[in-house]
């Protein structure tokens, strides 16, 4: 699985990175959480909360946006875009 994380502010890409996890022993959900945790560490962000809308969007589209509502601390950007770009089977 590959996930693309993008930090967006005023419709501009500030930072981005691709996280990979091909551990066959992990479930898809565990891989998603692992990629998010590692991406937040690399981007020096706190881990966002998965709100109901984030879960719903991710289930439907394999993509979600974490905005200020998903973070406890103030964020210096508009949102974190989190998208699956390659699934492993």
The whole-angstrom separation of Cα 89 and Cα 32 is: 14
pLDDT band (50, 70, 90) for residue 88? confident
Q: Is the pLDDT of residue 66 over 70?
A: yes
Q: Is the pLDDT of residue 45 over 70?
A: yes
- Residue recorded with tokens 């909360």: 49
Both tokens assigned to 56: 């719903």
The predicted structure's pLDDT at residue 89: 65
Instruction: Answer yes or no: pTM beyond 0.95.
Output: no
For the stretch 12-36, pLDDT in tens is 999 999 999 999 999 999 999 999 9
Give domain limits for the chain: 2-86
């Amino acid at each position: 699985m590959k996930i693309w994380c993008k930090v967006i502010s005023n419709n501009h890409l500030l930072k981005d990175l691709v996280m990979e996890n091909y551990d066959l022993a992990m479930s898809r959900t565990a891989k998603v959480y692992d990629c998010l945790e590692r991406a937040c560490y690399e981007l020096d962000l706190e881990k966002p909360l998965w709100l109901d809308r984030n879960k719903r969007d991710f289930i439907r589209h394999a993509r979600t946006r974490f905005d200020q509502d998903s973070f406890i601390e103030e964020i210096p950007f508009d949102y974190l875009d989190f998208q699956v770009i390659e699934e492993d089977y």
